[in-house]
Amino acid sequence: MSARTILTSLTALALLGGCASTGWMAPQAAPVEMAEPADDGIVAGLLADSRVQTAFGEIEAMRTLNNERLVELTEIPAPPFAEQARGADMAARMRALGLTDVTIDAVGNVIARRPGTAGSEARSIAIVAHLDTVFPEGTDVTVHREGDLFTAPGIGDNSRGLVVLLSLIDAMQRAGIETRDDLVFIASVGEEGLGDLRGVRHLYENDASPFSSFIAIDGGDAARLVVTAVGSIRYRVTFSGPGGHSYGHFGRAQPHQALAEAILRFTEAATPITLDGTKATFSFGRVGGGTSVNSIPFESWMEVDMRSANPEKLDALHRAFLSSVDAALEAANARRRLGDALTVDLDPVGSRPPGEGDLGAPIVLHAMAAIRAMGEEPELTASSTDANIPISRGIPSVTMSRGGISRNAHAPNESWQDENSHEAIQMALLVALAEAGLVSGE
C-alpha cells in the first residue's frame, strides 16, 4: 500500500502542561507519514483466545466499579510535586488486586511488577499512567456527576488513566492470564508542566534501558496513537534593573521595554522556522512585573515555551530565542540615559526530548491492530507524554487512549464521559499481551 498521511488532533497543552489529553478545542497536529506495515497476526491470535475473551468480559462488567474508582482517585488531590497521597492510594489498590511486588521509589513513582513465567530471562514491559494534575494545592476536586458525565479538575487527565492501569491488573487476575515477560505497572509523578517528566526521567537515571517496550496511557480519543515525541524547551526570563519613579527617574533602563523587544525579536526570528516542514511552535505563556502605573519596574518576566518533534527545528528555535534575548538586553541598555544597566536571568524550567518513533516496530503494529479490532482506524500523531523519554532513547513506545470522551483538559470544568470506555482498556490489554507474550493455557 502506498504511503499515506494521517492528520490527527494534538492536544492543547495549557498551563504549561505536557500530557496527551484530547478535547474539542485541540488544534491540528503535524501529520505523521508512514507506509502501511504488515500485520504480524499476533493480535488476531489473542482475540481468539478464550482467556482474552474472558478478560474482555470482565472489563465490560467492571464499568460501575471503574467509575467508582474514577471518582475516588480524582477526589484525592495530586497537585504538581505533591502526588504522595494519590500514590499511596494507588499502591494500596495494586496490592489489593493481588500484586505483591509494589514499591514507591525515591521520587514517588508507584511501581507494581506482575512477574512473567520466564523468570530471570523475562523482559520488562512498562505500562504507565501519570498521577499528577496541573491544578495547584487547594483546588476543589469534588466530582460532579450527571448520568455518565463526570466533571472535576483532572478527572480525565489523568485519573482515568490510573483506572485503566487498575482495570488491566484486575482483568488479568480474574481471567487467570499469565505472560512470558514481566508487566510493570507504573503510576508516575511529574508528567505535567514544570514536573518535566521527572518520574519517568528517574526510572531511566540508573538504567539506560529498564524496559523493552513502553506503553503510556494518556489521551482521550480511542483511535489516537502517539508514536512521535514532541520535544520542548521552556524558560523563565527575568529582566532586572534599578526601577524608580516614572517621572523623576525617566531615562533609566526599562525592563518592560526589554521584555517587549525580546518578544518581538524572537517572534520575527522564529516565525520562518515554523512555516514549513515538521511542526514547530513557540508561545509566551505568562508575563508579569511592575509595581504601579507611575513606577519604572525593577523587573519584568515571562515564561516561554518552544516545541517540535524535530531536534534540528527545536534547536533552531532555541538559538533564535537566546539571540533575541541578548539583542533586546543590549538595545535596552544602549537607550538608557542614566542609572545602572539592566541584567537578564534565563532560568530553564523544562526540557523534554523530541524523537521520532520506529513506525515499523512491533509495538506500533500491535497497537494499530488493537485499535482496528475495536472498529477504529488508527490515527498516528505526535504529542508530549511520558513516552518522550523512551522514544528519545530509541525504546519502542506508544501512548494510547484512556477511553471515554475527555473535554476541557487542564480547565476547572474538565469532564470525562463514559462512552464505550471499556474499548480503550481492551486495546491496552491486547498490546500488553502482544508485547509480553501470552502463556499457553494448555
Residues sharing a CB contact under 8 Å with residue 48, sequence separation 6 or more, in sequence order: none
Selection from 262, 339, 236, 247 nearest residue 296 by Cα: 247
Query: pLDDT tens string for the chain (442 positions)?
Result: 222 222 222 222 232 334 443 332 233 444 455 545 556 799 999 999 999 999 999 999 999 999 999 999 999 999 999 999 999 999 999 999 999 999 999 999 999 999 999 999 999 999 999 999 999 999 999 999 999 999 999 999 999 999 999 999 999 999 999 999 999 999 999 999 889 999 999 999 988 889 999 999 998 799 999 999 999 999 999 999 999 999 999 999 999 999 999 999 999 999 999 999 999 999 999 999 999 999 999 999 999 999 999 999 999 999 999 999 999 999 999 999 999 999 999 999 999 999 988 999 999 999 999 999 999 999 999 999 999 999 999 999 999 999 999 999 999 999 999 999 999 999 999 999 999 999 987 6
The per-residue pLDDT for 5 is 25
The per-residue pLDDT for 23 is 31
The per-residue pLDDT for 14 is 30
Residues sharing a CB contact under 8 Å with residue 418, sequence separation 6 or more, in sequence order: 63, 67, 148, 149, 150, 404
Rounded CA-CA distance 440/98 in Å is 21
Cβ distance 300 to 259 under 8 Å? yes
Dig out the grid coordinates for 411 from the structure: 480547565
The per-residue pLDDT for 317 is 98
Dig out the grid coordinates for 408 from the structure: 476541557
The per-residue pLDDT for 441 is 73
Rounded CA-CA distance 45/63 in Å is 26
Cβ distance 208 to 393 under 8 Å? yes
Dig out the grid coordinates for 314 from the structure: 527545536
Q: How many CB atoms lie within 10 A of CB 49?
A: 16
3-state SS string for the chain? CCCEEECCECCCCCCCCCCCCCCCCCCECCCEEECCCCCCCHHHHHHCCHHHHHHHHHHHHCHHHHHHHHHHHHCCCCCCCCCHHHHHHHHHHHHHCCCCEEEECCCCCEEEEECCCCHHHCCEEEEEEECCCCCCCCCCCCCEEECCEEECCCHHHHHHHHHHHHHHHHHHHHHCCCECCEEEEEEECCCCHHHCCHHHHHHHHCCCCCCCEEEEECCCCCCEEEEEECEEEEEEEEEECCCEECCCCECECCHHHHHHHHHHHHHHHHHHHHCCCCCEEEEEEEEEECCCCCEECCEEEEEEEEEECCHHHHHHHHHHHHHHHHHHHHHHHHHCCCCCCCEEEEEEEEEECCEECCCCCHHHHHHHHHHHHCCCCCEEEEECCCCHHHHHCCCCEEEECCCCEEECCCCCCCEEECCCCHHHHHHHHHHHHHHHCECCCC
Rounded CA-CA distance 152/78 in Å is 13
Q: What angle do CA 51, 57, 60 make, to 5 degrees?
A: 145
Parallel/antiparallel/unpaired status of strands 224-229 and 379-383: parallel
Q: What is the pTM of this model?
A: 0.87
Rounded CA-CA distance 422/356 in Å is 29
Burial class (CB in 10 A: 0-12, 13-18, 19+), 375: exposed
